[in-house]
Structure 1
Amino acid sequence: MATVISAYAPTLDAQEEVKEAFYADLDKILPEVPKEDKLILLGDFNARVGRNHHLWRGTLGREGVGNTNSNGILLLTKCSEHNLVISNTLFRQKTKFKTSWMHPRSKLWHLIDYVIVRSKDRRDVLNTRAMTSADDCWTDHRLIRSIMSIRLMRKRRMQKRQSRPKLNIDLLGDTTYQQQLQDALILKNTGAHFLLPS
């Protein structure tokens, strides 16, 4: 199975209790996903994770953008606790394909929308990038597209064992039936067909 979780995190200026409640909810949900399932965590996390991949080895790739903020530390910590990797930071591409939101005052582009998967499923993600052609949509965020190659195994159903037909051995005591059975076996060896009474 594949489990997709869509999340919208509190903004940077939200109260600390609200942020803690969001990540506490995430802490409840993530362990409920079976370990054998594929996990895809999507969302606007309002977090800048930066590019310090040495500090966040296994969680952050080499292709991060900008600096880390406090929401970014919360997200990175949660991903590290649950063995998750931020796929947006794995692929070398132009900055415009990494960033997803433009700050209204500074007009600088930032990466705050993420596609996150389990570290063991990192190879399933072929590319994650912002769609620059979707700038004129109803949102101030660029859409993030992730291409994945996921093979899901079907659960095997237990097949019912077919019962063998029961043999009527009571007839073997009958001498006429014994003779018919013997004739049938001789004919079978010669390629002829012989019908036995039921």
Structure 2
Amino acid sequence: MNCLINHLHELPVGINERLMTIRLMLASSQMATVISAYAPTLDAQDEVKEAFYADLDKILSEVPKEDKLILLGDFNARVGRNHHLWRGTLGREGVGNTNSNGILLLTKCSEHNLVITNTVFRQKNKFKTSWMHPRSKLWHLIDYVIVRSKDRRDVLNTRAMTSADDCWTDHRLIHSIMSIRLMRKRRMQKRQSRPKFKHRLFG
């Protein structure tokens, strides 16, 4: 994470206890907005959930269109596997069933043309799931790395780190590798190649 310091263009902005944003300089005049989220749990009051997604909607709407957008965090939501219903938002490699929090997240991602990258890559379920229910002892996916659908190819892989089971959190860390494609300013003389900005993110 220390290498990110050189790319800080603005200080992090704490929206509230559940949402924070930071903008990173990727190249000259080209930026990435990273949104860190901690959504209400399944048993939270509907008013609390509505307030969270209203705040998230406002943030997403205000991110400059030219920015790369990375939304990550603990959404306390199960998005399931119905990629036919949520085409473009949910990949073919989801796990488990959808719950009501999952519908809220999927709806918001669909409204803003976002894709949940955890569900895109074929891998064993242990690399998809991030949290074990304390009573059922079943593993679920509730922590996500989300990007704009048009930037799906920037993400090389998103997976859970099973080796991090015994650290201070009861969640597996989510590891996402990205090779971010940037567009140079167009020149009339000749077409420019697209440079890449490669980085790893941990959710």
What is the TM-score with the length of structure 1 in the denominator? 0.77
- Per-residue CA shift, 1:22-74, capped at 9, x if unaligned? 00001100011111110000010000000000000000000000000000000
- Is residue 2:198 matched to residue 1:197? no
2:78–2:141 contact (8 Å) kept in structure 1: yes
- Is residue 2:73 matched to residue 1:43? yes
2:70–2:145 contact (8 Å) kept in structure 1: yes
* More divergent stretch after superposition (40-49 vs 143-152): 143-152
CA distance in 1, matches of 2:133, 2:186: 50
How far is 1:152 from its partner? Answer: 3.9
* More divergent stretch after superposition (147-156 vs 81-90): 147-156
CA distance in 2, matches of 1:94, 1:133: 15
Residue 160 of structure 1: aligned partner: 190
CA distance in 2, matches of 1:197, 1:113: 11
The 5 Å alignment of 1:1-198 reads: 1-152=31-182
Do the aligned partners of residues 32 and 105 (structure 1) sit closer, same or farther apart at CA in structure 2, a change above 3 Å counting? same
Residue-pair matches, total: 168
SS at match of 1:126: strand
How far is 1:151 from its partner? Answer: 3.4
How far is 1:157 from its partner? Answer: 14
CA distance in 1, matches of 2:191, 2:55: 45
Q: CA RMSD in A?
A: 10.4
Do the aligned partners of residues 29 and 52 (structure 1) sit closer, same or farther apart at CA in structure 2, a change above 3 Å counting? same
Do the aligned partners of residues 158 and 14 (structure 1) sit closer, same or farther apart at CA in structure 2, a change above 3 Å counting? farther
Give percent identity, aligned residues only.
Answer: 95
Do the aligned partners of residues 126 and 19 (structure 1) sit closer, same or farther apart at CA in structure 2, a change above 3 Å counting? same
Residue segments in structure 2 that go unaligned for 5+ positions in a row:
1-30, 196-200
**Richer in helix (by share):** 1
- Per-residue CA shift, 1:69-116, capped at 9, x if unaligned? 000000000000000000000000000000000000000000000000
Do the aligned partners of residues 156 and 102 (structure 1) sit closer, same or farther apart at CA in structure 2, a change above 3 Å counting? same
How far is 1:160 from its partner? Answer: 22
Between Structure 1 and Structure 2, whose CA radius of gyration is higher? 1
SS at match of 1:127: strand
Do the aligned partners of residues 2 and 104 (structure 1) sit closer, same or farther apart at CA in structure 2, a change above 3 Å counting? same
Do the aligned partners of residues 30 and 107 (structure 1) sit closer, same or farther apart at CA in structure 2, a change above 3 Å counting? same
CA distance in 2, matches of 1:105, 1:27: 33
Do the aligned partners of residues 159 and 56 (structure 1) sit closer, same or farther apart at CA in structure 2, a change above 3 Å counting? closer
Do the aligned partners of residues 163 and 127 (structure 1) sit closer, same or farther apart at CA in structure 2, a change above 3 Å counting? closer
SS at match of 2:202: coil
Do the aligned partners of residues 163 and 26 (structure 1) sit closer, same or farther apart at CA in structure 2, a change above 3 Å counting? closer
2:175–2:202 contact (8 Å) kept in structure 1: no
SS at match of 1:128: strand
CA distance in 1, matches of 2:202, 2:77: 82
- Per-residue CA shift, 1:113-140, capped at 9, x if unaligned? 0000000000000000000000000000
CA distance in 2, matches of 1:162, 1:132: 41
Do the aligned partners of residues 33 and 157 (structure 1) sit closer, same or farther apart at CA in structure 2, a change above 3 Å counting? farther
